[in-house]
C-alpha cells in the first residue's frame, strides 16, 4: 500500500513537470520569442515590395536629361479580395474604369497568383493617388505602392535614351528580380544599362486592420529591407547639340550621328522623325505606343542604328584608300572622264560634266564617278583572280567597321550589308569581275551602311587610321568602369601615310573652287567633308554628307543622311555644317542657311 502511494506521487510529479514545461514553452512562444509572434501575426501583415528609385541620366556636361517623379501603382492581392465582398461599381467609379475592364484586370491578376501582389493600375500621379488613398480602405485587397516614374526635362534624345515597358511572364521566370507589373528598359540606354539603372528592391512589412488600413510598420520596421537606388549614368551626348540636331531634322526623314574622334564618344544621335519621350510614361503609355507603332513614318524606328542605306559617293574615300594601300594608284594617278565610265558592250556609269583628266584629290573634290570606277578596276587587275581581289577588298572594308555591329553599348542595331565573295559567286554562277559589281566602287549596289557606321568611318578618316568603338556612356556612379572595349584603340588595315591625300581631297570638297560642298564653310575652322547622293528606286535620291573638323586635332566627326533629299549638297551638307559650328562655337553664323533648313519640309512636299 505504501508503494502505491509513492507511485501516485511520482505520477503527479511527472504530470506537474509536463504542465510546467508546456506553460513555460507557451510563455516563451507568445511573450518572449519574436519569431513565433511574427508567424502568428501573418494574417494581419502585408508584405510590400519597395521599388528602387531608378538611376538618373545626365549629359556630358552634367545636365539632367532623365529624371524621376513620384507616383503610385494600385496593387491587388486576389485572395484578400475573395474573402470580403466589395462594391465593384463604386470601385470602378473611383478609379475611372468600366466594369468589363475591371473584370479583365482581376482575371489577369488571379491567373498570375491568388496570393501574390500584382499591379492593377499603373502610374497614378500624386493628385489622383491622394484622392484614392482616402477611400481605399473600403476595398480590401487593394492598396497603393509608392513608385517613381520617368520624366524627361528636355523632351529630346528619345531614340538614344530609350523607354521602359512592362516585363512579360518569360522575363519574370528568367530573372527573379522581376515580378508582374515591373518595368524594364526596352530600348536605348534604358535597356543597355538596365542592371545598373534598376537598383535593388527592398521589402516593407506593415500591419493592417480588418479594413485593410495601414497601421504602421511591423515591430518598427525591424524586419524591413531598404531599397538601393540605381546607379547614376553620365552619358556622352551634348544635349544642346542633340536638341539642335532634332530641330534641323524636323519634317525630314533620316539620321545624324556625331562622334568625338579622340574618344569614340557619341555627341549626338538623331533619328527622324522622332517623338516626345513623355508619351511613353504614365497610364496612357500603351495607347500612345499603339498610335506611334501604326504611324507610317515609323517614329519608333531608330534610323541612326538600324537604318541601312547605300553610302553613295562618301564611300569613294574608302575605295581610294584601299587602292593606295595596295599600290594600284598614287595620289598623282589620273584618268580621263567623258561624262561617265564605259564598260562591257553598252554599259555606262554616268558622271556630271567637269574638267578632265582628273587626279585623286580633284576626283574627291568634284566627286567624279569615272575616276573611282577606274580605280576599282585597276585595283582588281593587281590580283590573280577576282575572288582574291574581292576577298582582300572585303577584309579592308571590314576593318572600317562595315558589315558588323561594332560591339557598341546599344542592344539594337543593324550590321549593314557587306556581301562576301560567295554571295556574288552564287549570284553570277562564278562568272563575274570588277565591272560586274562596279557600282560598289561608288557606294551603290549591294553595299549598305548604317548612319553610325558612316560616322565611325568618318572618325577613322579624321584619326588617319584608328577609332574607338562608338559608345554612349561616359561614366557610372559608384566607381564602376565602362567596358574596356570602349577605351581600346582599334586600327583599320590602311597605313597612316595614305590618309593624307584623301583628307586633302575632303578639304577641297568644302574649300576648292569646284568643291561639291563649297557653300558649307564655317568661320575659323577647316571642315573636311564628302558629299554623297544615293540612288533611290522608290523616289528622289538620298542626300548624304560626312565631315570632321577641325582638320588638325578633330573634335567632331559627323554623318548626315536625309532620305529623298536629292543632292548631298542640298540638305545633308548644310545640316552637318550647322551641327559642327554649333558644337565648336555654341552658336551659328549662317542664319540664312539655318532658316532654310529649319523651315524645310521634305515629308509633306
User: 258 to each of 160, 453, 461, 507, how far by Cα in Å?
Assistant: 13, 11, 14, 19
Lowest-pLDDT choice from 139-153, 424-438, 466-480: 139-153
Torsion of the alpha carbons at 567, 570, 573 and 578, rounded to the nearest 10: -170
Lowest-pLDDT choice from 4-18, 165-179, 484-498: 4-18
597 near 248, Cβ under 8 Å? yes
The percent of residues in the chain predicted with pLDDT above 90, rounded, is: 61
**Distant-in-sequence, close-in-space partners of 527: CB < 8 Å, separation ≥ 6:** 507, 510, 520, 521, 547, 548, 549, 550, 551, 577, 580
Which tops the pLDDT comparison, 273 or 173? 273
- Beta-bridged to residue 73, according to DSSP, are 145
| Grid coordinates of 308 | 541601312
| Grid coordinates of 399 | 576593318
552, pLDDT greater than 80? yes
85, pLDDT greater than 80? no
| Nearest Cα residue to 323 out of 401, 378, 364, 365 | 378
CATH assignment of 239-277+301-475+482-598? Answer: 3.40.710.10
Between helix 88-95 and helix 99-112 the angle, nearest 10°, is 100
Q: What is the pLDDT of residue 580?
A: 98
32, pLDDT greater than 60? no
36-57 pLDDT, tens digit per residue, is 444 444 456 777 778 899 999 9
| Nearest Cα residue to 455 out of 361, 314, 276 | 314
Q: What is the pLDDT of residue 212?
A: 56
What would be the CATH architecture of the domain defined by 46-80+95-210+223-235?
A: Alpha-Beta Complex (3.90)
Highest mean pLDDT of the ranges 11-20, 84-93, 440-449, 532-541: 440-449
Which tops the pLDDT comparison, 265 or 145? 265
Which tops the pLDDT comparison, 481 or 592? 592
For residue 288, report the phi and psi dihedrals to the nearest 5 degrees. Answer: -65, -40
Mapped onto helix, strand or coil, the DSSP state of residue 64 is strand
319-337 pLDDT, tens digit per residue, is 999 999 999 999 999 999 9
**How high does pLDDT run on average in the chain?**
89
What is the Cα 548 distance to its own chain's centre?
24
For residue 202, report the phi and psi dihedrals to the nearest 5 degrees. Answer: -120, 180
pTM value is 0.86
261 near 556, Cβ under 8 Å? yes
Query: Which residues of the chain are in CATH 3.40.710.10 domains?
Result: 239-277+301-475+482-598
Quickly tell me which residue has 578633330 as its cell.
554
Q: What is the pLDDT of residue 538?
A: 75
Q: What is the pLDDT averaged over residues 504-518?
A: 95
Angle at 454 between CA 453 and CA 455, to 5 degrees: 90
Q: What is the pLDDT of residue 110?
A: 87
Distance, in Å, from the CA atom of 153 to the CA atom of 288, rounded to the nearest integer, reads: 19
**Distant-in-sequence, close-in-space partners of 563: CB < 8 Å, separation ≥ 6:** 252, 253, 254, 536, 542, 602
Q: What is the pLDDT of residue 431?
A: 92
Query: Which residues of the chain are in CATH 3.90.1310.10 domains?
Result: 46-80+95-210+223-235
Distance, in Å, from the CA atom of 532 to the CA atom of 337, rounded to the nearest integer, reads: 19
Q: What is the pLDDT averaged over residues 97-114?
A: 87
Amino acid at each position: 500500500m505504501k508503494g502505491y502511494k509513492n507511485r501516485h506521487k511520482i505520477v503527479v510529479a511527472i504530470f506537474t513537470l509536463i504542465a510546467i514545461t508546456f506553460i513555460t514553452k507557451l510563455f516563451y512562444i507568445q511573450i518572449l520569442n519574436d519569431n513565433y509572434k511574427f508567424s502568428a501575426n501573418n494574417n494581419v501583415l502585408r508584405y510590400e515590395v519597395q521599388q528602387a528609385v531608378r538611376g538618373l541620366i545626365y549629359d556630358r556636361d552634367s545636365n539632367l536629361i532623365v529624371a524621376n517623379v513620384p507616383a503610385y501603382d494600385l496593387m491587388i492581392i486576389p485572395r484578400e479580395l475573395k474573402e470580403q465582398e466589395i462594391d465593384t461599381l463604386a470601385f470602378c467609379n473611383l478609379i475611372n474604369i468600366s466594369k468589363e475592364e475591371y473584370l479583365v484586370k482581376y482575371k489577369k491578376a488571379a491567373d498570375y497568383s491568388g496570393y501574390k501582389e500584382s499591379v492593377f493600375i499603373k502610374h497614378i500621379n500624386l493628385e489622383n493617388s491622394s484622392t484614392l488613398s482616402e477611400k481605399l480602405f473600403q476595398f480590401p485587397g487593394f492598396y497603393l505602392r509608392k513608385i517613381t516614374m520617368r520624366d524627361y526635362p528636355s523632351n529630346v534624345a528619345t531614340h538614344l535614351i530609350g523607354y521602359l515597358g512592362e516585363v512579360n511572364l518569360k522575363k519574370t521566370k528568367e530573372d527573379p528580380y522581376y515580378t508582374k507589373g515591373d518595368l524594364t528598359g526596352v530600348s536605348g540606354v534604358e535597356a543597355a544599362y538596365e542592371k545598373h539603372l534598376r537598383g535593388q528592391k527592398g521589402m516593407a512589412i506593415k500591419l493592417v486592420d480588418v479594413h485593410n488600413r495601414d497601421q504602421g510598420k511591423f515591430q518598427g520596421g525591424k524586419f524591413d529591407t531598404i531599397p538601393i537606388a540605381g546607379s547614376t549614368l553620365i552619358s556622352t551626348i551634348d544635349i544642346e547639340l542633340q536638341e539642335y540636331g532634332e530641330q534641323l531634322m524636323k519634317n525630314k526623314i533620316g539620321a545624324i550621328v556625331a562622334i568625338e574622334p579622340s574618344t569614340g564618344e557619341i555627341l549626338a544621335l538623331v533619328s527622324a522623325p522622332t517623338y516626345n519621350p513623355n508619351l511613353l510614361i504614365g497610364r496612357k503609355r500603351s495607347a500612345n505606343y499603339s498610335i506611334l507603332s501604326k504611324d507610317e513614318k515609323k517614329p519608333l524606328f531608330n534610323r541612326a542604328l538600324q537604318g541601312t542605306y547605300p553610302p553613295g559617293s562618301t564611300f569613294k574615300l574608302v575605295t581610294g584608300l584601299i587602292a593606295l594601300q595596295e599600290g594600284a594608284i598614287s595620289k598623282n594617278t589620273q584618268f580621263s572622264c567623258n561624262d561617265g565610265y564605259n564598260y562591257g558592250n553598252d554599259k555606262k556609269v554616268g558622271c556630271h560634266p567637269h574638267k578632265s583628266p582628273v587626279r585623286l584629290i580633284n576626283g574627291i573634290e568634284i566627286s567624279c564617278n569615272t575616276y573611282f570606277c577606274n580605280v576599282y578596276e585597276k585595283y582588281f587587275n593587281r590580283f590573280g583572280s577576282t575572288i582574291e581581289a574581292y576577298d582582300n577588298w572585303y577584309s579592308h572594308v571590314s576593318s572600317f567597321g562595315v558589315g558588323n555591329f561594332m560591339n557598341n553599348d546599344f542592344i539594337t542595331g543593324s550590321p549593314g550589308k557587306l556581301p562576301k565573295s560567295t554571295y556574288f559567286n552564287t549570284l553570277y554562277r562564278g562568272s563575274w569581275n570588277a565591272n560586274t559589281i562596279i557600282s560598289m566602287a561608288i557606294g551603290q549596289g549591294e553595299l549598305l551602311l548604317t548612319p553610325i557606321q558612316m560616322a565611325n568611318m568618318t572618325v577613322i578618316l579624321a584619326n588617319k587610321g584608328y577609332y574607338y568603338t562608338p559608345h554612349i556612356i561616359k561614366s557610372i556612379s559608384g566607381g564602376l568602369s565602362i567596358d574596356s572595349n570602349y577605351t581600346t584603340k582599334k586600327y583599320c588595315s590602311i597605313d597612316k601615310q595614305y590618309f593624307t591625300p584623301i583628307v586633302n581631297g575632303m578639304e577641297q570638297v568644302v574649300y576648292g573652287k569646284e568643291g561639291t560642298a563649297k557653300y558649307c564653310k564655317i568661320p575659323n575652322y577647316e571642315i573636311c567633308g564628302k558629299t554623297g547622293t544615293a540612288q533611290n528606286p522608290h523616289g528622289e535620291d538620298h542626300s548624304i554628307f560626312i565631315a570632321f573638323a577641325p582638320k588638325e586635332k578633330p573634335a567632331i566627326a559627323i554623318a548626315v543622311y536625309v532620305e529623298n533629299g536629292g543632292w548631298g549638297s542640298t540638305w545633308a551638307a548644310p545640316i552637318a555644317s550647322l551641327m559642327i559650328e554649333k558644337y565648336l562655337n555654341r552658336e551659328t553664323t549662317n542664319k540664312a542657311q539655318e532658316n532654310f533648313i529649319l523651315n524645310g519640309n521634305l515629308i509633306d512636299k
